[in-house]
Structure formats: C-alpha cells, structure tokens
C-alpha cells in the first residue's frame, strides 16, 4: 500500500481538482488490487495504470489513505489466454487475452460505497507466429489493462 502512495507521488500526485466529481470528493487513495489469478504481477500493472490515469486526468488528487475522501478498492478476478483462431491443421494461430477486475469506490468519511462491485473487462489478441511489428502476448495484456483502467477512470471521475 505504501508503494502505491510512493508511485502516486513519483508520477505527480498533488495536482488540483476540477468539478467533474461529487462535490465532497476531491482526493482518492488506491491500494494495490488483489490478484486472484495465477498470472503474476497483474496487480502491479493494473494499480499503477489506474494511479497514472488519475494523476493525468487531474480530477482527483491521489493521496495516502488517511488523507483521502474516497478509496478505490479492487481485485483482479479473471485472466484468460485462450486460442481464438486456428490454421488448417487446427493449430492455434491467434490467442485472445481477457482480464476481469471487480472494483468498489468508497466514500472514506461515511464508509459507504459510491458504487460497488462493478465488473470491468478488457481484452486483446496476439498471434503465435511473430510477424514483423506483430502483436505479442505482452501487447495483448497491456491492451486489456488499458481498456479496464480507462473504464474505471471514467466511472470514478463522473458525477455520481
């Protein structure tokens, strides 16, 4: 959890806020999400990207938990890497990565959810045979995380 705050400080935590959120929510804390999948390090990538998106968006200030108006809590509950298309010999040529995250945004002062247990799904694909400038497994994972974290940002900073 301290690493999440340190990351927030390192990427520019401390910018001002605008009026796109509920009037009493100006600051947010994002602890590392729990990774309930067997895919390593997803919690780091997802949490870091959410914090970066919040800092870049500049609507809410990312702060330590004790200074936050809201807490964005989440867990990574699904990771699939499945064959998507096959060649004439029935060998997989393309794979599809799907990541599922469940999040809740709490008002820290009231300990009530602003929104809760929302599912966010992101996906991406890659080819087994690498062609020049082709997509890789890492590209597909990154695309999935990007979709998820942009959706989380949009829901987090909208008027509730």
pLDDT in tens, 96-125: 999 999 999 999 989 999 999 999 999 999
Residue 128's pLDDT is what? Answer: 83
pLDDT greater at residue 158 or residue 136 = 136
The DSSP string of 92-120 is EEEEEEEEEEEEEEEETTTTEEEEEEEEE
Residue 11's pLDDT is what? Answer: 40
Q: Per residue in 2-43, pLDDT tens?
A: 444 444 444 444 434 444 456 689 999 999 999 999 999 999
Residue 107's pLDDT is what? Answer: 94
Pairing state of beta strands 70-86 and 92-107? antiparallel
Query: Which pTM was predicted?
Result: 0.81
Helix, strand, or coil here: 10? helix
pLDDT over threshold 80, residue 75: yes
Q: Per residue in 138-158, pLDDT tens?
A: 999 999 999 999 999 999 987
Distance CA 120, CA 99 (A): 8
pLDDT over threshold 50, residue 1: no
By the 10 Å C-beta count (0-12 exposed, 13-18 middle, 19+ buried), 118 is classed as middle
């Amino acid at each position: 959890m301290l690493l999440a705050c340190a990351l927030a400080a390192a990427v520019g935590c401390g910018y001002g806020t605008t009026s796109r959120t509920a009037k009493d929510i100006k600051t947010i804390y994002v602890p590392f999400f729990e990774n309930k999948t067997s895919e390593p390090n997803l919690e780091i990538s997802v949490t870091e990207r959410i914090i970066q998106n919040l800092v870049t968006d500049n609507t809410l200030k990312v702060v330590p938990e004790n200074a936050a108006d809201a807490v964005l809590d989440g867990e990574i509950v699904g990771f699939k890497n499945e064959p998507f298309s096959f060649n004439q010999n029935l060998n997989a040529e393309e794979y599809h990565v799907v990541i599922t995250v469940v999040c809740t945004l709490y008002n820290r002062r009231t300990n009530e959810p602003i929104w809760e247990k929302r599912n966010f799904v992101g996906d991406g694909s890659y080819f087994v045979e690498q062609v020049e400038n082709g997509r890789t497994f890492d590209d597909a994972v990154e695309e999935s995380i990007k979709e998820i974290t942009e959706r989380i940002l949009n829901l987090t900073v909208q008027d509730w």
